[in-house]
Amino acid sequence: MRCERDAALARRAELEAIRQECRRLVSQRSLMSAGAAVLPIPGLDMGADVAILMQLLNTINGKFGLDAQALAALGPAQDKIQVLMRAGKGMSLFGTGLTPERIARMLISMGARRLGTRSVARFVPVLGSGLSAGISYYLLRRLGHAHIEECHALALRAHQQGVRLLTAAPVHPPGPTPEQNQD
């Protein structure tokens, strides 16, 4: 019994570490999006956001074991995961549900008014570029964090159902090696 509880706690800690790593990744990519939004080229910001999100969401899915390859490798357990995904009320951008068109629709639905403001604002000297970059950062970060929370919740539910998703080990910053600690 104690061993099962320790394993459950270790799994929760692992998922929390992955969640924190993904949040840092979303912040970095949001800054990239903001940088693209500063340039006054029509359509560049939306195209950059979709491209950044495609790569980012695929990475997040992979870290939580929810990418198409990992889900296919589950075999019979995949049916349980599919039921858990459908039971969720979120965006469901897992596995094969991730397309550029779907991401563009998601961006528009999350901030349609802001996207219009962003497009017009960029042509106002200096302040407009800053406003456009801020809106772009906000939208990408909001969508990324919402997806992380959805993946985290689904991975926890899968664990509770006895399905072990093949998560990528969190990448921790390099620390001193045991040889360095002996000094």
Q: Where are the domains of the chain?
A: 2-168
d(CA 126, CA 160): 51
pTM: 0.76
Where do runs of H (alpha helix) occur along the chain? 2-38, 44-64, 68-73, 77-87, 100-121, 127-160, 178-181
State what percent of residues in the chain have pLDDT above 90. Answer: 22
Residue 178: band (very low, low, confident or very high) from pLDDT cuts 50, 70, 90: very low
Q: What is the DSSP string of 161-172?
A: TT----PPPP-P
List CB contacts of 137: < 8 A, sequence separation 6 or more.
Answer: 30, 31, 33, 34, 37
Cβ atoms within 10 A of the Cβ of 24, count? 10
Residue 108 confidence (pLDDT): 73
**Range 139-164 average pLDDT:** 87
Per-residue pLDDT reduced to its tens digit, 35-87: 888 777 766 777 888 899 999 999 998 898 888 777 777 666 666 666 666 55
Among residues 130, 73, 67, 117, which one has the least CA distance to residue 97? 67
**The pLDDT of residue 8 is above 70:** yes
